[in-house]
Structure 1
Amino acid sequence: MARDPKIAYVLLRNAHFGPRLASSVELCVRDLVLYSRYARSTLVACPPVDEPFAGVEIATIADVSLGGNVAKALGVARLLRRRGIDIAVVENHLPAAAMIAATSGARVLLHSHAYETAPRGAAGVAGARLKVAPLAGVAFVSEDALARFRDNFPFTRAPMRAIPNGLDMGAWSATEPKDASILSVGRALADKGHIEAMAATASALKTRPGWSARFILSATDREPGTVRKLRDTAEASGGRVRIDANLPHAEVKAAWEKSAIGLALTKTPEPFGRTALEALASGAALIGSGLGGLAEVCGPCAVTVDPNDAGGLAAALGALMDAPDRRADLARAGRKRVEALFDIRAVARRMDDFIDVCVGEGRAGS
């Protein structure tokens, strides 16, 4: 097509497309749109939001009382037809993507930030075939997520790509000196490793009076028992471990830029790991589990530990707290890695090129 394609990014799952409560998915979408060569012909279809991100056109998805996100997909299809959208990039919801592809007249690209669950049994495989058949393409946040999808959905014929999150490194500061502080950011879920991280941090702090720690948590309503354990341990630290919940991303970013050490200790494979990316970009020396996509984010630029071993983690954390030169080396290497591999301009260009493939302007095939 001679003109720029009309593109809609579609956010369905309890999305908050604004600076107050944005998750990694919404931040990724914002950045891909802002740095796209197609920014002027792109909108974001999302649930109502009180203060949307600046610089991005949005279209509100009407709420429905029954049917959930698949029912919302029918309203999205009507919106896409009305706006003359050429391709819809549907975030993280394969059934809705299939419904939109079947009913909107637009081409649909599924943009997955998760591990898509393998179909089970003959009926599951048949259903999965029907869902992926109408897709124009599938993009994943890591090579790990892409490889798992290829294994679990071998019948997919649409082109596929791994396109990570990116950051505008001009907006991220790695200024020194850092505060003598440790930072862990993420959803307050047991499999994110916060309980072990908290125990290790409390142990390491006992003999290092100049240090403190901070845990910035989201989704605190999901596992009340996990949150209670974390708060109990923090309270026993005598104020040296601070917990904050559901902060705007601007405050999370400021915390990363001050912290000397970061933790990314998910106990199960992570499709990507944006918190690790932000830690490296801010010049924090990172300790991570290296599981799943975290290995692609960090490479050799983090200390890798077993996230289930609080004692081993405490030892690794203490050793890093006591080694300023080692922290400085990790910080420099991590920052350089993000600049080389995750610059948002290059990442957005990769997504634009893949969109071209999916609308028929680029090279076909996967």
Structure 2
Amino acid sequence: MHARILTILPPRERYEAGHAGAISLLVSRLASAGDHVAGNGAVGVPLSGGQYRPLVLPRVPLPHAWRLRLACVAMMRSYQPTLTEIHNRPDLARFLARFGPVRLVLHNDPCGMRGARSVRQREALARHVLVCGVSAWVIQRFREGCGPIRTEVQPNCLDLSVLPVSRDREKTVLFAGRVVADKGVDAFVRAWGHIRASHPEWRAVIMGADRFGPDSPETPYLKQLRPLAAAAGVMMTGYRPHDAVLDAMAEAAIVVVPSRWQEPFGMTALEAMGCGAAVVASPVGALSDLVGDAALLAAPDDPGALEQALSRLMDDDGLRVRLGAKGRERATLFDVGAARFRVEELRQAAIVFAGRLPRS
């Protein structure tokens, strides 16, 4: 019998076409037709994977976190899932494990998440739910300081069959993603200002906003960045739907991922490799393991490093072609077919895991 799966999204994730973040897109990619996906509020056109169900928070005089918990319990009792999957909410996963088998999927550094900040919390969590992370780096952070516990890696994935067909590459260096300091966008602008005069036939583009969706706010960071980008000759498109971002990656000769923060996976780099672009990435978090030898690495705040890597790629047609081919080959390791098989393994393991351990 096929397991009944209920996936509960983080509160800020929207399961809506044109508004979805990375977690929603991944859930949709992996969801079977009969899976239920629950999120915070109604949506317009839901993503295609599974069946979306809005959580109904009870109108009771309790903090939001408790109202969310009660809404999730009500959804579990209504749907009667074989397994409930929680993304990026350790505290919620630990609570819901009282009501049925739970699998926790971590997409970011867990040590800053509620319910996983201390070693004691993480060890207790791992006794009651199967903890999975999207990279070995995420799992290493979860296990830091802990005794023997069970954890598993569930890498993110791409459906290579639906990526846009690679076309003649434009002399464009593209940044795509959230326009925030942690993503190193200002470092890209700085680097481009230093090297643009030596490469007049090239252009630089920033595609994204503070958040995913057309209603993203104009933040102080964006206000400060815009005149710097204009002075450096960098075009800023604002938010674009995910399909438009992939189209841009299939056209751009180079995609830059100059993150400062410890990237827990590096989905932008994977998508760029899948689209055949040559990639320049930061050697932080899980990025270097993800790209392997299929990209150039450059720390965004090391003097001259990003400038040198970009110039090297712009000056060497053969290197761009070789890295684009290597990236496409490496992306096949993360294709959705293998990922679905891995997820099914982990779901069965989580059900068995929950059956063997007492709940408290």
Please report the TM-score for the alignment, with normalisation by the length of structure 1. Answer: 0.88
1:253 maps to 2:249: no
The equivalent of 1:93 in structure 2 is 89
The answer to whether the 8 Å contact 1:15/1:46 transfers is yes
1:191 maps to 2:182: yes
Alignment of 1:222-301 (within 5 A): 224-237=219-232, 240-301=233-294
The equivalent of 1:32 in structure 2 is 30
Q: Distance in 2 between matches of 1:252 and 1:156?
A: 42
Change in CA separation of 1:106 and 1:321 when aligned onto 2, cut-off 3 Å = same
Change in CA separation of 1:241 and 1:64 when aligned onto 2, cut-off 3 Å = farther
The equivalent of 2:153 in structure 1 is 162
Q: Distance in 2 between matches of 1:222 and 1:307?
A: 25
The answer to whether the 8 Å contact 2:93/2:104 transfers is yes
Instruction: Structure 1: state its 5+ residue gaps.
Output: 34-38
1:347 maps to 2:339: yes
Equivalent position SS for 1:206: helix
Equivalent position SS for 2:176: strand
The equivalent of 1:331 in structure 2 is 324
Equivalent position SS for 2:37: strand
1:57 maps to 2:48: no
Q: Distance in 1 between matches of 2:292 and 2:50?
A: 33
One of 83, 101, 106 as aligned partner of 1:112 = 106
Q: Distance in 2 between matches of 1:281 and 1:64?
A: 43
The answer to whether the 8 Å contact 2:34/2:51 transfers is no
Change in CA separation of 1:69 and 1:17 when aligned onto 2, cut-off 3 Å = farther
Letter in 2 for 1:355: R
Equivalent position SS for 1:291: coil
The answer to whether the 8 Å contact 1:174/1:283 transfers is no
The equivalent of 2:349 in structure 1 is 357
Q: CA deviation at 1:276?
A: 0.4
Letter in 1 for 2:171: A
The answer to whether the 8 Å contact 1:70/1:96 transfers is no
Name which of structure 1's ranges 302-311 and 140-149 shifts more when overlaid on structure 2. Answer: 302-311
The answer to whether the 8 Å contact 1:81/1:106 transfers is no
Q: Distance in 2 between matches of 1:230 and 1:110?
A: 37
Change in CA separation of 1:305 and 1:55 when aligned onto 2, cut-off 3 Å = closer
Q: Distance in 2 between matches of 1:108 and 1:179?
A: 46
Name which of structure 1's ranges 228-237 and 4-13 shifts more when overlaid on structure 2. Answer: 228-237
Q: Distance in 2 between matches of 1:269 and 1:317?
A: 21
Q: Distance in 1 between matches of 2:57 and 2:80?
A: 22
Q: Distance in 2 between matches of 1:223 and 1:55?
A: 31
Q: Distance in 2 between matches of 1:79 and 1:96?
A: 14
The equivalent of 1:23 in structure 2 is 21
Equivalent position SS for 2:177: strand
Q: Report how many residues are paired.
A: 348
Change in CA separation of 1:124 and 1:145 when aligned onto 2, cut-off 3 Å = closer
Q: Distance in 2 between matches of 1:64 and 1:181?
A: 50
Letter in 2 for 1:184: F
The answer to whether the 8 Å contact 1:19/1:250 transfers is no
- Between the two proteins, what is the percent identity of the paired residues? 26
Alignment of 1:121-136 (within 5 A): 124-135=118-129
Change in CA separation of 1:147 and 1:124 when aligned onto 2, cut-off 3 Å = closer
Let me know the Cα RMSD of the aligned residues: 2.6
Equivalent position SS for 2:306: helix
Q: CA deviation at 1:53?
A: 0.8
Q: Distance in 1 between matches of 2:133 and 2:124?
A: 20
The answer to whether the 8 Å contact 2:26/2:157 transfers is yes
The answer to whether the 8 Å contact 1:200/1:310 transfers is no
Q: Deviations over 1:161-194 (max 9, x none)?
A: 1111111111123523211101112222212111
Change in CA separation of 1:129 and 1:163 when aligned onto 2, cut-off 3 Å = closer
Instruction: Structure 2: state its 5+ residue gaps.
Output: none
Q: Distance in 2 between matches of 1:318 and 1:146?
A: 35
Q: Distance in 2 between matches of 1:63 and 1:156?
A: 37
The equivalent of 1:68 in structure 2 is 64
Equivalent position SS for 2:204: strand
Please report the TM-score for the alignment, with normalisation by the length of structure 2. Answer: 0.89
